Structure 1
């Protein structure tokens, strides 16, 4: 689940996204920051799986345990929404990939591309309704299949690696607009968040684990393996083409890089790998979306309606809501100026809030000593790791900039209707004073973002 969730669309888009932002030096710095930050976050997930084995579906449940009901809801809704936006991105990428061979698909947001995406969404919907175990087996097979073209490309890039070309690109290509190194690094930050999404895949499905220790082990092993692939793809590409050529490749840019090495068949080979990879990742994330909504309803953070399962143990109502929302967002891409990068960045920022709250809860657990009976010597280490994860996620919010934070608020605030619904049907007060303050802050940000969209000062 960790590898299947992480290796989706992002890895195939890394060359052009990095090439348009920075040279190898900036890329090395960016991966060092992102890799360290996400490793700390992975260690937080591992520690919490071991110290709080009573908490299932960790991403939002940790936020609720540490920061109250409304923050738990925002974490669940934000994570679910980010996952939905990620699924939209997958369909845009599929359309863009096909657009290289069939012009009617364009950049993935033409009428034909949207129609094909909607057919695909509801075909997967019918498949998942037949059972999580069956879908998980398909995901396992697809995960193996999609790693093959990535490994083949890495080997080819090593064989043709040109150190002179790499050196010319190192500080930023001579034919690229001059840009300070700090700006180069900042412009890569959201793509690094996106490609690491899924690191929590084992934690989301922790209720299915036979041994809780397997959750933490899967998280670390998946993280290390996938990080190696992503860094290799990014840096080796600089040794094959000038940075300006890499930056100008259409997405999925890994297809263009491989094509430059072996010819046109390379683009076809990678494009097939992209389609297999993205469809597999879409399957994994559709399951995760429904699981998050279902778990939140089970813990009384979402309306009871979404706690229902069908005869195959699939949270059917949650799945219907998920795919309805994904369909609406797919349709909305028709009016987006750059649907590809906009959906990628929105997915990244929306998921940062749940990550920040998980890291914060890691700090609280380590400080309290809960679950550390017999291993008190590990508390200090885990507290430092959790604080580093907190600093990293805050840094990512700053790097994202106010535009995306305001747009996330525009999406999160209306979701509070589900929170009010869940509280009312259980006869509970809607807000305690602290939660009311949080809601009002979010509402003000949402209104500013909405005004920006209406006035045109913020464009999707």
Structure 2
């Protein structure tokens, strides 16, 4: 019998997927583009937007408790088979590519303990030793999740608590060392030579990505002990992450001047903690970074395997991917996911390719499901006596549109390259009328247009 996930496990899953490597570089990233005033405005806008999205997910778990695996099922229920599949495919592909980056980051951080100027072992995470280590870690996590999602989620809860320890240590020491005059100096960021709104816009491009993973509890909602815990976990994790991000970025500006912070090497929190507690600061943050990224990787492995599993149950992916093992783990989907990650690792090792462009394009694909969450809530509540729910749906939809605009419409257009092979899989899964519902004429035309658009998109990427 499958053990279900409680509120603490669900909250840890969401929080761990959001708090990855980025939080340790956030002080430098933010200081390089904005002063304190712009940071406060930027986090306010992001905080309101992400709370709208979290509340929209909470309401949908109450209005439609029968829809498991939210990211795919909300899109499918609201906007048809094709958009449902595109939502699932885009989410899964982004998770696979992001998991590759997590494995690279882990061994890049380990190089702090192993590498010397005379001897490079792990380097930037792209040496053969790093790729071999990444492959070992990949399959260790794989067999851990095969033992059951509950087992993996319990270990993730411990990893989440582990990653919060260095962050809490940093916050406590930063509060003790905080200098208000330092923080308030050049409050509006005049030294940057950019107007306040331009600074705010650039902070938004950074805050854009730090909440990716907010959907974690919704994705695994079928495995929740209580459906009401799904929305609660999402909201609790968002509030906790927002508090961490605010404290880390704002307190940092009260420790060193903004211009100096902007020049720090990343992870910049290591340099700050070294100032606060001596040479041990580097080691504490390097260790915290490794624990944090491993926890985020475990969370994303669970979520990446869940979406194709749910989609396969409803005919959008081949039915064989819906197979579970004796411990109710999505075994077939997990093999597909981690096999794809391993293939990417081998390709990187052989070609030494820079896959940052691919990661950016794939990340864009995860934003479309966020927009569809808000639009689906609007569709459900429009014309009904639910003004608050409708307002939340509109707020979440506007935030979803802002995310797509701020991250760059060009990358969204180029993402048709990644949709093309997915559409072939979709058509294969539905061959012989295997889909639960027939495609509409409009959906058939859209598939043809997407396939045709992939050719100029490939050309654009290669020139």
Residue 88 of structure 1 aligns with which residue? 100
- Residue range with higher mean Cα deviation, 359-368 or 343-352: 343-352
CA-to-aligned-CA distance 1:169-226 (integer Å, 9 cap, x gap): 533373x5x3343333333334323221222221112112232222111111121112
Q: How far 1:252 moved relative to its partner? A: 2.5
Select the residue among 68, 75, 80 that pairs with 1:68. 80
Residue 59 of structure 1 aligns with which residue? 71
Q: Secondary structure at the match of 1:105?
A: coil
- Residue range with higher mean Cα deviation, 204-213 or 100-109: 100-109
How far apart, CA to CA, are the structure 2 residues paired with 1:195 and 1:346? 16
Q: How far 1:401 moved relative to its partner? A: 1.5
How far apart, CA to CA, are the structure 2 residues paired with 1:337 and 1:159? 44
The answer to whether the Cα contact below 8 Å between 1:406 and 1:446 also exists between their aligned partners in 2 is no
Q: How far 1:61 moved relative to its partner? A: 0.2
Select the residue among 206, 209, 212 that pairs with 2:224. 209
Residue 291 of structure 2 aligns with which residue? 276
Gaps of 5+ in 2: 1-12
Q: How far 1:319 moved relative to its partner? A: 0.8
Q: Secondary structure at the match of 2:25?
A: helix
Residue 171 of structure 1 aligns with which residue? 188
Q: How far 1:8 moved relative to its partner? A: 2.2
The answer to whether the Cα contact below 8 Å between 2:112 and 2:286 also exists between their aligned partners in 1 is no
Select the residue among 296, 305, 308 that pairs with 2:320. 305
Residue 373 of structure 1 aligns with which residue? none
Q: How far 1:285 moved relative to its partner? A: 1.0
- Residue range with higher mean Cα deviation, 312-321 or 185-194: 185-194
Select the residue among 423, 430, 436 that pairs with 2:430. 423
Residue 339 of structure 2 aligns with which residue? 324
CA-to-aligned-CA distance 1:102-122 (integer Å, 9 cap, x gap): 244333334433332222112
- Does residue 1:17 correspond to 2:17, yes or no? no
- Does residue 1:266 correspond to 2:311, yes or no? no
- Residue range with higher mean Cα deviation, 84-93 or 130-139: 84-93
Give 1:360-439 correspondences, 5 Å limit. 360-367=375-382, 369=384, 376=385, 379-428=386-435, 431-439=439-447
How far apart, CA to CA, are the structure 2 residues paired with 1:156 and 1:171? 25
Give 1:36-47 correspondences, 5 Å limit. 36-47=48-59
The answer to whether the Cα contact below 8 Å between 1:209 and 1:215 also exists between their aligned partners in 2 is yes
TM-aligned CA distance change 1:99 to 1:409, over 3 Å: farther
How far apart, CA to CA, are the structure 1 residues paired with 2:253 and 2:273? 12
Select the residue among 240, 249, 272 that pairs with 1:257. 272
How far apart, CA to CA, are the structure 2 residues paired with 1:348 and 1:169? 34
How far apart, CA to CA, are the structure 1 residues paired with 2:46 and 2:249? 13
- TM-score calculated relative to the size of structure 1: 0.89
- Residue range with higher mean Cα deviation, 6-15 or 233-242: 6-15
Q: How far 1:69 moved relative to its partner? A: 0.2
CA-to-aligned-CA distance 1:282-305 (integer Å, 9 cap, x gap): 111101111111011111111111
Give 1:87-106 correspondences, 5 Å limit. 87-101=99-113, 102=115, 103-106=120-123
Q: How far 1:237 moved relative to its partner? A: 1.1
How far apart, CA to CA, are the structure 2 residues paired with 1:443 and 1:11? 38
- TM-score calculated relative to the size of structure 2: 0.89
CA-to-aligned-CA distance 1:42-96 (integer Å, 9 cap, x gap): 0100110001111111111000000000000000111111222221221232233
How far apart, CA to CA, are the structure 1 residues paired with 2:148 and 2:92? 20
- Residue range with higher mean Cα deviation, 162-171 or 205-214: 162-171
- Does residue 1:121 correspond to 2:138, yes or no? yes
Q: How far 1:325 moved relative to its partner? A: 2.0
Residue 107 of structure 1 aligns with which residue? 124
The answer to whether the Cα contact below 8 Å between 1:355 and 1:393 also exists between their aligned partners in 2 is yes
Gaps of 5+ in 1: 370-375, 456-460
Select the residue among 222, 226, 233 that pairs with 1:218. 233
